[in-house]
């Protein structure tokens, strides 16, 4: 069969893992059409289709899944081997951040970091997926979660708190509910249904039916902004919307989230000069943020009530 088509195989592996030819092509600095041509050449060489192309991306065929199983680990081994010879530039830092955290918390604060470290080049990647530090050229990530991820160091930044939020228009139309009235109002359910914990902590009975269910917090908040109903909002993400007048906090009570915000990075980044500077600045920002009035509960920590 001649020399193996290594570039096409690399593109195949990336597209298979990302589920998208355009993203894989961008990663390889190719056009989508160029990568598609390479994948077609690979399929012609194998005499098998490796992808089923759809409107939202690509899916592996059974033959494609088998090929990924065989060649994927080989490319990962090569990448790990090369990482030992490619230390990151001391004045460059690449971080991954969830889009919601980037827009509501990190980006408004970044001008202070850039002003204090003008010699550093900061690259911010917005992504909801967890970073694979072995495969991706990312030095660190800001993540919201339990704080335990295998193979990485996780430093706690700050906790997050939840409280009922609604649009001014909804309040004007329906009034402001008391805790006892809350279950009778149009409530918007979050992915984990934290409302159940809210009622268990502060009293009342959860509704038998929620007006709507949402699979991510950002969409939930925007539904509240549009006046659809009352959401149990995360303070960190909701704060810009409250300051702009698009949302109103309905209670002084705060429920501590089971998850918190962390700075996450692999052991290889621990002594990276740019990360050390960013880490010191980030921890200072997080400490000041955690002490801001209005974030902490004025009544009681929900996890200590019972």
Q: Specify if 301 maps to a domain.
A: no
Q: Is the pLDDT of residue 87 over 80?
A: no
pLDDT score for 83: 61
- Looking at 63, 83, 103, which one is the last position of a domain? 83
For residue 302, the model assigns a pLDDT of 38
Residue 299 lies in a domain: no
270 and 187, same structural domain?
A: no
Residue 1 within any structural domain of the chain: no
Q: Are residues 122 and 264 in the same domain?
A: yes
Note whether residue 296 is domain-resident. Answer: no
Nearest to 42 by CA among 4, 74, 73, 80: 4
CATH of residue 55's domain is: 1.10.10.10
Percent of the chain with pLDDT over 90: 63
192 in a domain, yes or no?
A: yes
Single pTM value for the model: 0.68
Q: Which domain holds residue 11?
A: 6-83
What's the rounded Cα separation, in Å, for the pair 18 and 131? 12
Q: Once rounded to an integer, what is the mean pLDDT over residues 212-226?
A: 93
Q: Is position 123 within any domain?
A: yes
Q: Are residues 198 and 145 part of one domain?
A: no
Q: Rounded mean pLDDT of the chain?
A: 88
CA distance 69 to 118: 44
Q: Are residues 220 and 182 in the same domain?
A: yes
Is residue 305 included in any domain, yes or no?
A: no
| Alpha-carbon torsion, ordered 112, 114, 118, 123, to 10 deg | 170
pLDDT band for 301, please (50, 70, 90 cuts). very low
Residue 111: the pLDDT is: 95
| Number of neighbours of residue 297 by Cβ within 10 angstroms | 16
Q: Are residues 77 and 117 in the same domain?
A: no
Question: How many separate domains does the chain show?
Answer: 3
DSSP class of 104? I
φ and ψ of 159, to 5 deg: -80, 165
**Could you read off the pLDDT of 250-300 as tens digits, one per residue?**
999 999 999 999 999 999 899 999 999 999 999 999 999 988 876 655 433
- Is the pLDDT at 305 greater than 50? The verdict is no
Residue 300 has a pLDDT of: 38
Give the mean pLDDT of 32-55.
Answer: 91
% pLDDT > 70, the chain: 92
Question: Is the model more confident about 134 or about 147?
Answer: 147
76 and 40 both lie in a single domain? yes
Q: Based on the domain organization, do 252 and 264 belong to the same domain?
A: no
Kindly report the CATH number assigned to the domain that includes residue 237: 3.40.190.10
Query: What H or E segment, with its residue span, contains residue 189?
Result: strand 187-189
Domain identity same for 242 and 175: yes
In a domain, 98, yes or no: yes
Q: How far is CA 274 from CA 3, 86, 90, 91, 124, in A?
A: 41, 16, 6, 6, 13
């Amino acid at each position: 069969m001649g020399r193996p088509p290594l570039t096409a195989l690399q593109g195949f592996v990336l597209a298979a893992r990302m589920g998208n030819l355009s993203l894989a092509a961008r990663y390889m600095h190719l056009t989508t059409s160029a990568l598609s041509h390479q994948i077609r050449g690979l399929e012609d060489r194998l005499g098998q289709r490796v992808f089923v192309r759809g409107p939202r991306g690509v899916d592996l065929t059974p033959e494609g899944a088998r090929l990924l199983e065989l060649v994927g680990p080989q490319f990962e081994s090569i990448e790990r081997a090369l990482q030992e010879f490619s230390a990151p530039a001391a004045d460059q830092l690449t971080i991954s951040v969830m889009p919601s955290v980037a827009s509501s918390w990190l980006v408004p604060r970044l001008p202070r970091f850039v002003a204090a470290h003008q010699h550093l080049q900061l690259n911010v990647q917005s992504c909801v997926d967890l970073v694979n530090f072995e495969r991706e050229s990312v030095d660190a990530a800001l993540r919201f979660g339990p704080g335990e991820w295998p193979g990485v160091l996780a430093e706690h930044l700050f906790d997050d708190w939840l409280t009922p939020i609604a649009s001014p228009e909804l309040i004007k139309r329906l009034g402001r509910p008391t805790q006892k009235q809350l279950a009778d109002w149009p409530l918007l359910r979050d992915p984990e249904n934290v409302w159940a914990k809210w009622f268990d902590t502060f009293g009342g009975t959860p509704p038998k039916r929620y007006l709507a269910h949402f699979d991510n917090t950002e969409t939930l908040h925007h539904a509240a902004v549009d006046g659809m109903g009352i959401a149990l909002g995360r303070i960190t993400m909701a704060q810009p919307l409250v300051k702009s007048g698009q949302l109103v906090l309905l209670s002084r009570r705060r429920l501590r989230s089971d998850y918190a915000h962390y700075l996450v990075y692999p052991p290889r980044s621990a002594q990276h000069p740019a990360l050390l500077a960013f880490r010191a600045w980030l921890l200072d920002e997080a400490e000041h943020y955690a002490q801001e009035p209005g974030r902490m509960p004025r009544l009681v920590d929900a996890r200590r009530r019972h």
